[in-house]
């Protein structure tokens, strides 16, 4: 090891190195804080979008840890993503589920508090026979529609916090994600 001949005492060089190390540690801690602060703000924004700022509490023991919501023989997950109806369905199918078929008032009543202010894709579409059907094949109840809907604006369904559905094109600017559904049978 070569000795540095600079006239600077060795202890001062070591102290300078330690100060630099401590500064680097503080910078790393600040970055860590910024990342966690951004995550917390993103979670708060998601809660605002889904629940109008309220945090919905469900019985933890009744709900899986992966964010799915259990109801009778079904599990649901609200997934926030800027996707088209077909992209949402393809992703749900890849997860061994499908888009939610809201073919009962009970399902809608269960999901409504979790939807909040969001507009989300669900599994209704205009079938080849030009009738509105859920992806499970059942007909959409005419009472499920938002008043004045369907308007003929598209072949796919979205749901609002009211629990009513509307029709739309393949991609909607206001749609914030989708509801995936799995059978627990």
Q: Domains of the chain: which residue ranges?
A: 7-55, 60-183
Instruction: Tell me which residue of 103, 50, 90, 118 sits closest to 180, measured CA to CA.
Output: 90
Identify the CATH number of the domain defined by range 60-183.
3.10.100.10
Position 108 scores a pLDDT of 92
How many CB atoms sit inside 10 A of residue 124's CB? 30
pLDDT band for position 14 (cuts 50, 70, 90): confident
Tell whether the model's pLDDT for residue 95 goes beyond 60. yes
In angstroms, the CA 135 to CA 145 distance is 16
pLDDT band for position 152 (cuts 50, 70, 90): confident
Average pLDDT, the chain: 81
The percentage of residues in the chain with a pLDDT greater than 90, rounded to a whole number, is: 43
């Amino acid at each position: 090891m070569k000795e540095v001949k600079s006239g600077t005492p060795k202890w001062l060089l070591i102290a300078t190195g330690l100060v630099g190390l401590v500064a680097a540690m503080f910078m790393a801690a600040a970055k860590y804080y910024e990342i966690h602060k951004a995550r917390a703000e993103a979670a708060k924004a998601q809660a605002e979008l889904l629940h109008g700022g309220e945090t919905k509490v469900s019985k933890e023991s009744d709900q899986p840890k992966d964010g799915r919501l259990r109801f009778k023989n079904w599990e649901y997950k609200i997934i926030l993503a800027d996707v088209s109806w077909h992209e949402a369905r393809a992703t749900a199918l890849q997860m061994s589920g499908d888009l939610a078929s809201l073919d009962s008032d009970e399902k809608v009543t269960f999901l409504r508090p979790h939807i909040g202010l969001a507009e989300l894709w669900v599994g209704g579409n205009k079938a080849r026979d030009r009738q509105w059907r859920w992806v499970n094949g059942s007909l959409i109840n005419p009472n499920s529609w938002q008043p004045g809907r369907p308007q003929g604006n598209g072949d796919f369904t979205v749901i609002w916090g009211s629990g009513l559905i509307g029709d739309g094109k393949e991609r909607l600017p206001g749609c914030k994600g989708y509801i995936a559904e799995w059978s627990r049978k």
